[in-house]
Amino acid sequence: MRRKIIKIDEEKCNGCGLCTNACPEGAIKIIDGKAKLVGDLLCDGLGACIGNCPEDAITIEEREAEKYNEKKVMENIVKGGRNLIKAHFKHLQEHSQTEYLNEAIKILKKKNIEIPELNNESLSYKCGCPGSKVMDLRGHKKEKSLADDVSVKSELSNWPVQLHLINPSAPYFDNADIIIAADCIPFCYGNFHGRFLKNKVLIIFCPKLDDAQDLYVKKLAEIFQNKINSITVIHLEVPCCFGTVKIVEESLKKSGKNISIKDYTISIKGEIV
């Protein structure tokens, strides 16, 4: 079947092993000093290991791969003891993988092994990417918004804004100050237009869901060939979203230009970290 699965660049990998600690399924092992994907059926393709790689050697690709097998994964995890079982359950819960979680619970019941207690408050960013974790933000205290009293105008100055659709030769890139934002940012940060977008050219993309990272690096490098005054990158606090910065840095290197990058991190609750 064709599905998302991790890809390891062995040239970048330094064999530190941090990715193996972040993979409770046991899909990654250090072999001959390099991280290796030891079996397609052990990798769920959710990318828990990506945010733990200091060398940016792990990405997600879509290819023909053996279907992920929760039963096979649990055979390995049970051998690792209670803490590993709990880490795996948290990983599944953070990514809303209810089907796999229920399957894992059935396996533990069959083996008469205690099922770990989990709840939303106990979830930790230490295990896996929290970008898919279900969170209810309705109780989050927010200050009164200016938009409650007056109409706030849009500061958007270019179209389209999605990188896949943008023309690198568009005239608005001449002498431009560019904002490159993960595409969830305008929804998380309420004052995005007023704080960041005024008099800027906007580019958005998702480093995790868009299957176009090579294309994005090439296209951004072409954009940077214009006379660019400044680059500001804005991404969420979740590990997978830091790929926004990595794509921009790689593009800038490919372009041969020397432009400083301002980097802002936004929390899921809409605050500058």
Strand 228-236, strand 261-266: pairing: parallel
Given pLDDT bands bounded at 50, 70 and 90, which one contains residue 102? confident
Whether residue 124 is predicted with pLDDT greater than 50 in this model: the reply is: no
Domains of the chain by start residue, with CATH: 1-130 (3.30.70.20), 146-266 (3.40.50)
Mean pLDDT across the chain: 84
Of the listed ranges 81-90, 100-109, 174-183, the one predicted with least confidence: 81-90
Whether residue 79 is predicted with pLDDT greater than 80 in this model: the reply is: yes
- Token pair, residue 266, equals 């936004």
Strand 28-31, strand 34-37: pairing: antiparallel
Distance, in Å, from the CA atom of 209 to the CA atom of 270, rounded to the nearest integer, reads: 21
Give the largest Cα separation in the chain, rounded.
66
Q: What is the pLDDT of residue 150?
A: 57
Whether residue 62 is predicted with pLDDT greater than 60 in this model: the reply is: yes
Whether residue 131 is predicted with pLDDT greater than 60 in this model: the reply is: no
| Residue 134 vs residue 229, higher pLDDT | 229
Residue 153, Cβ density class (10 Å: 0-12 exposed, 13-18 middle, ≥19 buried): exposed
Q: What is the pLDDT of residue 147?
A: 52
**Looking at residues 185-193, what average pLDDT do you find?**
92
| Residue 273 vs residue 139, higher pLDDT | 273
Quickly tell me which residue has 């568009």 as its tokens.
Answer: 170
**Looking at residues 116-131, what average pLDDT do you find?**
49
- Token pair, residue 265, equals 């991190």
In single-letter form, the type of residue at position 35 comes to: A
Q: What is the pTM of this model?
A: 0.54
Q: What is the pLDDT of residue 261?
A: 94
Question: What's the pLDDT tens digit per position in 213-260?
Answer: 788 999 999 999 999 999 999 999 887 788 899 899 999 999 999 999
